[in-house]
Chains A and B, each alone.
Chain A
Amino acid sequence: MNYKFDFYKYRKIYFIISGVIMLLGIVSLLIFGLNLGVDFKSGTRIEINIEQNFVEKDIRSLLKDAETAAKEQGIKDVDLTPSIVRQAGNKNGIAVVRFDQTINSDVLPVIKEVFRSKYGEQVDLIESKVDPTIGRELARKAFYAVLWASLGIIIYVSIRFEFRFGVTAIIALFHDAFFVIAIFSLLRLEVDLTFIAAILTIVGYSINDTIVIFDRIRENMKLNKVKRARDIENIVNISLNQTLARSINTSLTVLFTALALFILGGEGIKNFSLALVLGLISGAYSSIFIAAPIWALWKGKDLDKKKFKPQIES
Chain B
Amino acid sequence: MIRLNRLLGFIAIIVVLTVLMIATIKPVLNNITLGLDLQGGFEVLYQAIPTDGQEITTQALKETAAAIDRRIDVLGVTEPRIEIEGTDRIRIQLAGVPDQDAARELLGKPAKLTFRNVNNEILLDGSDLVEGGASVDLDKIGRPVVVLKLKDADKFRDITAKYIGQSIGIYLDEELITNPVVNQVISTGDAIITGQETVEEAQELADLLNAGALPLDLKELQSQSVGATLGMKALELTIKAGIIGAIFVLLFMIFYYRVPGIIASYALVVYVYLILVLFWLLHVTLTLPGIAALVLGVGMAIDANIITYERIKEELKSGKSLLSSVRAGSRRSLSTIIDANITTILAAIVLYIFGTSLIRGFAITLIVSIIVSLITAVYGSKLLLNLFVKSNLVTNPRAYGVKEEEISEL
Contact = CB atoms under 8 A, between A and B. Distances in A.
A23 interface: no
B347 A216 contact: no
Contacts of A130: 221-223
Interface string B295-324: 110111011001100100010000000000
Contacts of B383: none
Interface in B195-225: 220-225
B379 interface: no
Nearest to B313: A245
A213 to B, nearest CB: 10
Q: Max chain B CB contacts within 10 Å: which of A124, A153, A161, A258? A: A124
Nearest to B47: A131
B221 A265 contact: no
B104 to A, nearest CB: 5
Contacts of B45: 134
A120 interface: no
A124 B363 CA distance: 32
Contacts, number: 230
A137 B241 CA distance: 32
B292 interface: yes
A163 interface: no
B352 to A, nearest CB: 9
Instruction: Please report whether the interface of chain B is mostly helix, strand, loop or mixed according to DSSP.
Output: helix
B32 interface: no
Nearest to B351: A145
Contact of A141 (B227, B230, B355): B355
Q: Max chain B CB contacts within 10 Å: which of A128, A156, A246, A253? A: A253
Contacts of B37: 268
Interface stretch (B58-66, B144-152, B249-257): B249-257
Interface of A: 47, 49, 105-106, 108-109, 122, 124-131, 133-134, 137-138, 141-142, 144-146, 148-149, 152-153, 156-157, 160-161, 169, 193-194, 196-197, 200-201, 203-205, 207-208, 211-212, 215-216, 242-243, 245-246, 249-250, 252-261, 263-269, 272-273, 276
Given A257-B296, A260-B244, 20 more contacts: A49-B233, A126-B226, A131-B220, A138-B356, A141-B354, A149-B351, A153-B343, A194-B289, A201-B366, A203-B347, A211-B339, A212-B303, A215-B335, A243-B310, A249-B256, A250-B299, A250-B303, A253-B299, A257-B242, A273-B292
Q: Which 10 A-B pairs have the closest CB atoms?
A: A260-B245, A254-B299, A124-B227, A257-B245, A264-B241, A145-B354, A149-B350, A266-B237, A256-B248, A131-B221
28 contacts: A49-B229, A49-B230, A106-B104, A124-B230, A127-B225, A129-B223, A131-B220, A134-B45, A134-B222, A141-B355, A145-B353, A146-B351, A152-B350, A153-B346, A156-B346, A169-B343, A197-B358, A197-B359, A207-B344, A211-B339, A253-B249, A253-B298, A257-B248, A261-B245, A265-B292, A266-B234, A266-B288, A276-B296
